[in-house]
Amino acid sequence: MTATMRAWVVPEPGRLEQVELPVPEPGPDELLVRVHVCGVCRTDLHVRDGDLPPHKSPVVPGHEAVGEVVATGRDVPRRYQPGLRVGIPWLRRTCGVCVYCQRGQENLCPQSVYTGWDADGGYAEYLTVPAAFAYELPAAAFTDYTDEELAPLLCAGIIGFRALRRAELPPGGKLGIYGFGGSAHLTAQVAIAQGATVHVLTRSAEARALALRLGAASAGDAYDSPPEPLDSAILFAPVGDLVPVALAALDRGGTLSIAGIYLSQVPPLDYARHLFEERSMRSVTANTRSDGRDFLAHAARHKLTIATTPYEFDRADQALDDLAADRVNGVAVLRVSPS
């Protein structure tokens, strides 16, 4: 008899449904992972609601999964033994041979595929992942983190880390963060640890309070002006109306980094006000494995404060609804099959 598992799927845009699925078989270079927890990311919301066009239907969403290896394909290196804790991120596989992969920009690979969009993800009791794209999370290196705290690092943390790199914040610089959810509250801590002055601008009063507790120099409404010109800014809120707001807050030579995979329509920009004096605007497209390794090494050295809201597995639909309504402070995390 084929073993089955509980899973949530998006059978069509706008709907999430709990089903029973066969436990997947790992391919030759893949791991079979028993999922302990899975973070609930805004990208999952875009997959459910059809803001991102379906790549696989039905698909199991989720790409911030933490679990343990239970089986391996025949070509997997011997270090991936059953019981090893691993993290499964958004980037699932790249071709490895195109010009982008060869020059260290695998996040731009035209053949790249993604967990929870192109392949089934972590809103399930088991999933598979290519071993080369999983992150090892040994207890010795991450002794201060629970599984629930590790899950958000695998997308929210890594994407925020890449967005910070793309923002080209100078040493000791002034950083504006627009929106303050799962990714932003981790990125702020990294920037502060690097010596930056961080100003948070977000519509949520609870998020503003969290920002101040984490060490932000100021916290205002999303459409407020920061108390001083910014060297760099990161837009986490998927709100195109905030692009000119953030650009106008930049000092000369400043850079705005847009962190989301989805952004609503951007209004017309005024060249003199928003872009002149060498202000720049840059997008962020997924991440490289190098970004992930560097960020996780930082997290292992510097304990991050991670605000999580746990949801039992049967309430995944409620978690997404709460995220859509901005009722989640920090990161929602599904307890799938806790260790």
pLDDT at 1 over 70: no
Q: Which fold does the domain 157-283 belong to in CATH?
A: Rossmann fold (3.40.50)
Specify burial of residue 105 (Cβ count, 10 A radius: 0-12, 13-18, 19+).
middle
pLDDT at 319 over 80: yes
Which has the minimum average pLDDT: 271-285, 299-313, 324-338? 324-338
For 98, residues 6+ apart whose C-beta sits below 8 A from its C-beta are: 109, 110, 111
Please answer whether residues 281 and 275 qualify as being in contact, where contact means their C-beta atoms are separated by less than 8 angstroms: yes
pLDDT at 313 over 90: yes
pLDDT at 27 over 90: yes
Return the bridge partners of 71, or none.
32
- What average pLDDT does the segment 303-307 reach? 93
Identify the pLDDT of residue 329. Answer: 76
Domain(s) labelled CATH 3.40.50.720 in the chain stretch across 157-283
Residue 283 Rama label (left phi>0; alpha psi -120 to 50; beta): beta
Percentage of the chain surpassing pLDDT 90? 93
- What average pLDDT does the segment 125-132 reach? 98
- What average pLDDT does the segment 147-165 reach? 96
Please answer whether residues 66 and 37 qualify as being in contact, where contact means their C-beta atoms are separated by less than 8 angstroms: yes
Identify the pLDDT of residue 246. Answer: 98
Please answer whether residues 57 and 38 qualify as being in contact, where contact means their C-beta atoms are separated by less than 8 angstroms: no
What is the token pair recorded at 42? 């805004």
In whole angstroms, how far apart are CA 301 and each of 39, 60, 139, 292? 22, 33, 13, 14
Amino acid at site 231: D
pLDDT at 186 over 90: yes
Q: Which fold does the domain 4-145+306-335 belong to in CATH?
A: Quinone Oxidoreductase; Chain A, domain 1 (3.90.180)
Q: How does residue 87 score in pLDDT terms, banded at 50, 70 and 90?
A: very high
pTM exceeding the 0.85 threshold for the entire prediction: yes
pLDDT at 339 over 80: no
Domain(s) labelled CATH 3.90.180.10 in the chain stretch across 4-145+306-335
